């Protein structure tokens, strides 16, 4: 029979891999192992919090991939057995592969932030993994129930974490909701870091659109949350201050998803080191790890990078399988758009290449949106909000369509 490409995870990296493999290598048998029947994207989930998108707007089913001939097994991958080249499923069945692509996303390090476990997340949601959108809907309901004059707290982790600008987009869009519906409410954003992605652009926008609404506290000014008391809704920072909040979004410390950790693919960072040309893991042959589960700094953990790198990973895996050289001189692209308010978008672009020392950002290639007062940048911000919508439509098509 045909050679078998098996993919763990049907999110940005996994679905993009499956679709690309069917188009570029139609002679290969492609199977995705993914427990969910449809996928809720984290990107654009913050717009659900703002009230401008619904769950169905950000949900994608696998019908189109199935029609392209991708086989789906709706189950969890429980273990990877590299010696036997097989994946063991939760049901007990096994699936053999010739090449394996692993894109299971992040795992939350439960308990790494004292007081923050699965039960605490039912009170102070993280809303940082897709999981049918349950967490993001919970946060939305809590915002709707927030009394005017209440405090929305954020706990933001140190690097590396999924989607570097994500917390700040979320703060912005929660602010946009509060400004319209609870004008006396406030945001307290407690950050473990002193600097963040697109910081100048975000802070300019906060001053212009939401003056006095958002207090952002950097790590050096006691912003680092070191413990959580979910029952009493308290975020405790390093110097011992207990911040009482009404609604809280705790973005906890992260690692690669459990399957990658259990398979022994991760290193001391908690993520999976990979060959930057092929995405094959350093620790096991015939296994290529893409998306947020790998450690590929300075590339960010983004859906855009998961999609962009999936193609090189698949093409390399198939080339190696067939005794050819992996594609030479790949370039990996990233653009992270963030919405800050209605018709207000910003972006950061990065271009990366592999080298023998790892991933390298190509000098003078990327950058961020121009800075300046809203009077001068209004049409640019409006355009970028539309570009962001187009990006969302095209990446979800390139993954799930």
Of 18 and 77, nearer to ligand FAD (C-beta) is 77
Q: How far is the CB of 31 from ligand FAD (least distance, A)?
A: 11
> How is 133-154 classified by DSSP, letter by letter?
GHHHHHHHHHHHHPPTT-EEEE
306 lies in the binding site for ligand FAD (CB under 6 A): yes
Point out which span in 30-38, 61-69, 205-213, 358-366 binds ligand FAD (CB under 6 A). Answer: 30-38
Of 20, 31, 34, 318, the one binding ligand FAD (CB under 6 A) is 34
Q: How far is the CB of 182 from ligand FAD (least distance, A)?
A: 21
257 lies in the binding site for ligand FAD (CB under 6 A): yes
160 lies in the binding site for ligand FAD (CB under 6 A): no
Of 116 and 337, nearer to ligand FAD (C-beta) is 337
Q: How far is the CB of 399 from ligand FAD (least distance, A)?
A: 9
Of 14, 153, 160, 345, the one binding ligand FAD (CB under 6 A) is 14
Point out which span in 98-106, 185-193, 206-214, 264-272 binds ligand FAD (CB under 6 A). Answer: 98-106
Of 16 and 316, nearer to ligand FAD (C-beta) is 16
When computed from its CA atoms, the radius of gyration of the chain, rounded to whole angstroms, is: 21
H/E run at residue 207: helix 199-209
Residue 163: left (phi > 0), alpha (psi -120 to 50), or beta? left
Q: Contact at 8 Å (CB) between 189 and 157? A: no
Q: CA-CA distance, 102 to 114, in Å (whole number)?
A: 30
User: For residues 110-129, which are near ligand FAD according to CB under 6 A?
Assistant: 128
Instruction: Work out the end-to-end distance of the chain between its first and last CA atoms, rounded to an integer number of angstroms.
Output: 27
Residue nearest to ligand FAD (CB): 11
Of 247 and 257, nearer to ligand FAD (C-beta) is 257
Q: CA-CA distance, 176 to 247, in Å (whole number)?
A: 16
Q: Is 71 exposed, middle or buried (0-12, 13-18, 19+ CB in 10 A)?
A: middle
- Contact pattern for ligand FAD over residues 207 through 236, marking x by CB under 6 A: ------------------------------
CB atoms within 10 A of CB 222: 16
User: For residues 324-383, which are near ligand FAD according to CB under 6 A?
Assistant: 336-337
259 lies in the binding site for ligand FAD (CB under 6 A): yes
Q: CA-CA distance, 239 to 42, in Å (whole number)?
A: 32
Q: How far is the CB of 360 from ligand FAD (least distance, A)?
A: 20
Chain length of the chain: 401
Percent composition of the chain: helix, strand, coil (DSSP 3-state, to 5):
30, 30, 40
Q: Contact at 8 Å (CB) between 372 and 352? A: no
Q: CA-CA distance, 63 to 72, in Å (whole number)?
A: 10
Of 21 and 234, nearer to ligand FAD (C-beta) is 21
* Residue matched to tokens 């920072």: 237
3-state class of 307 per DSSP? helix
CA 299 to chain centre: 12
Point out which span in 265-273, 276-284, 299-307, 356-364 binds ligand FAD (CB under 6 A). Answer: 299-307
Q: CA-CA distance, 387 to 304, in Å (whole number)?
A: 14
Of 257 and 314, nearer to ligand FAD (C-beta) is 257
Point out which span in 97-105, 113-121, 208-216, 275-283 binds ligand FAD (CB under 6 A). Answer: 97-105
Of 115, 160, 166, 345, the one binding ligand FAD (CB under 6 A) is 166
Tell how many helices (H) and how many strands (E) occur in the chain.
9, 25
Q: How far is the CB of 388 from ligand FAD (least distance, A)?
A: 7
User: For residues 62-91, which are near ligand FAD according to CB under 6 A?
Assistant: 76-77
Residues forming the site for ligand FAD (CB under 6 A): 8-14, 33-36, 39, 42-43, 45-46, 76-77, 103-105, 128, 130, 162-163, 166, 170, 257, 259, 291-293, 301-304, 306, 336-337
């Amino acid at each position: 029979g045909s050679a078998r490409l098996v993919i763990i995870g049907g999110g940005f990296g996994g679905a993009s891999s499956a679709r690309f493999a069917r188009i570029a290598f139609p002679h290969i048998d492609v199977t995705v192992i993914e427990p969910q029947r449809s996928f809720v994207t984290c990107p654009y989930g913050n717009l659900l919090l703002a009230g401008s998108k619904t769950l169905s707007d950000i949900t994608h089913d696998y019908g189109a991939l199935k029609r392209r001939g991708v086989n789906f097994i709706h189950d969890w991958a429980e273990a990877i057995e590299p010696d036997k080249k097989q994946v063991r499923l939760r049901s007990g069945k096994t699936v053999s592969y010739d090449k394996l692509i692993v894109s299971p996303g992040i795992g939350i390090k439960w308990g790494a932030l004292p007081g923050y476990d699965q039960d605490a997340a039912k009170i102070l949601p993280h809303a940082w993994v897709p999981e049918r959108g349950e967490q993001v809907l919970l946060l939305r309901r809590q915002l709707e129930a927030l009394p005017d004059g209440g405090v929305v707290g954020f706990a933001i982790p140190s690097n590396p974490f999924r989607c570097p600008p994500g917390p700040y987009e979320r703060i912005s869009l929660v602010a946009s909701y509060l400004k319209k519906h609870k004008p006396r409410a406030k945001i307290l954003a407690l950050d473990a870091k002193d600097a963040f992605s697109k910081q100048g652009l975000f802070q300019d926008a906060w001053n212009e659109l939401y003056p006095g609404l958002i207090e952002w506290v950097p790590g050096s000014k006691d912003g680092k949350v070191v413990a959580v008391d979910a029952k009493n809704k308290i975020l405790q920072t390093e110097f011992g201050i207990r911040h009482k909040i009404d609604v809280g979004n705790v973005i906890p410390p992260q690692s690669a998803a459990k399957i990658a950790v259990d398979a022994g693919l991760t290193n001391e960072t908690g993520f999976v080191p990979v060959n930057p040309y092929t995405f094959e893991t350093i620790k096991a042959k015939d296994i290529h790890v893409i998306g947020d589960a790998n450690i590929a700094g300075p590339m960010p953990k983004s859906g855009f990078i998961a999609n962009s790198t999936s193609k090189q990973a698949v093409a390399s895996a198939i080339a190696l399988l067939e005794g050819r050289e992996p594609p030479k001189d790949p370039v990996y692209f990233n653009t992270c758009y963030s919405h800050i308010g209605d018709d207000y978008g910003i972006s950061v672009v990065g271009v990366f290449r592999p080298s023998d020392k790892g991933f390298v950002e190509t000098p003078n290639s990327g950058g961020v949106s121009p800075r300046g007062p809203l009077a001068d940048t209004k049409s640019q911000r409006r355009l970028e909000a539309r570009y962001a919508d187009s990006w969302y439509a095209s990446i979800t098509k390139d993954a799930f369509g």
